[in-house]
Amino acid sequence: MSATTDRAFVRMEGVGHCYSPSAGTMAVQQIDLEIHRHEFVAVVGPSGCGKSTLLRMVSGLLIPSEGKVSVFDLPVTEPRDDVGIVFQKPTLLPWLTVRKNVLFPLKHKYGFYSDADERRADELLAMAGLAQFAERMPDELSGGMQQRVGIVRALLLNPDILLMDEPFSALDAMTREQIGFDLLKIWTEYPKTVLFITHSISEAVLLADRVLVMSQRPGTVLDLIDIDLPRPRSADTIQTPRFAELTARIRKHIYEPEAH
């Protein structure tokens, strides 16, 4: 689904960031990346390598110390309405129903939501397999279901770009795999430009068009790998020799960096 002939929706040029200038320790450095319309790019790397820092800079929550981050050819200087974010935990409000949690960003931003907004929320919940839980409270849902509500909430404003910061990390392995397939279904029906942060190599290969592999801190780009697995992907994809080759290539970068 990559569209390399289109202008980049997200561009990083020579990006670096230092959280403590006095110490001079860079979190990331010399990151160059272009993400195109409706492309799904996953980022993997060791803990502390700056994966989430990249996402925060694209979101406008963090301004880089070096280089430039742009969205639609405009420098990112603050959070944007056309960028949705899904965090590690869905942070649902426990006193609101599932439907009202999905609608909360509109209520918070504008003070109200319309009948059309409610219909869209219901459509998204149905697409995520949550229609019958719209009036439930968050604590009545499993962890995987709560995370799907978080994804639906991020999609309500129909953002052009979806940023996902290890959204499945708190889930057990079986739920994590299933919600990965759920995400692919949602992405197919509502195409978005996605930057997906994960610690899971197999998850990155299963979901993405390309995988950015980062080094130890300060995080730099070790490899940018085209994932040439046919779509739609399924559990059978994981069993293919090509899937094994791609995951092995990424593992070699991360666990044997001196070999490169």
200's tokens: 């899971």
Asked if 195 and 57 touch (Cβ cutoff 8 Å), the reply is no
> Among 3.40.190.10, 3.10.310.10, 3.40.50.300, 3.60.9.10, what is the CATH number of 1-82+161-170+195-260?
3.40.50.300
pLDDT tens-place string over residues 112-122: 788 899 999 99
The maximal CA–CA distance of the chain, rounded, in angstroms, is 58
Label residue 111 by pLDDT band (50, 70, 90): confident
Is residue 6's pLDDT more than 60? no
Q: Where are the domains of the chain?
A: 1-82+161-170+195-260
Three-state secondary-structure class, residue 158: coil
- In the block, tokens 């406008």 appear at 60
Does the predicted TM-score (pTM) go above 0.75?
yes
As a whole number of angstroms, the distance between CA 14 and CA 28 comes to 10
Alpha helices, H only, 35-172 = 51-59, 98-110, 115-127, 143-155
pLDDT tens-place string over residues 184-230: 988 888 899 999 999 999 999 999 999 999 998 888 999 999 999 99
Three-state secondary-structure class, residue 64: coil
- In the block, tokens 């995370």 appear at 147
Q: What mean pLDDT do residues 157-167 have?
A: 90
102's tokens: 């999905």
pLDDT tens-place string over residues 84-96: 899 888 889 999 9
Asked if 219 and 28 touch (Cβ cutoff 8 Å), the reply is yes
Is residue 174's pLDDT more than 90? no
pLDDT tens-place string over residues 37-86: 999 999 999 888 889 999 999 999 999 999 999 998 899 988 887 888 99
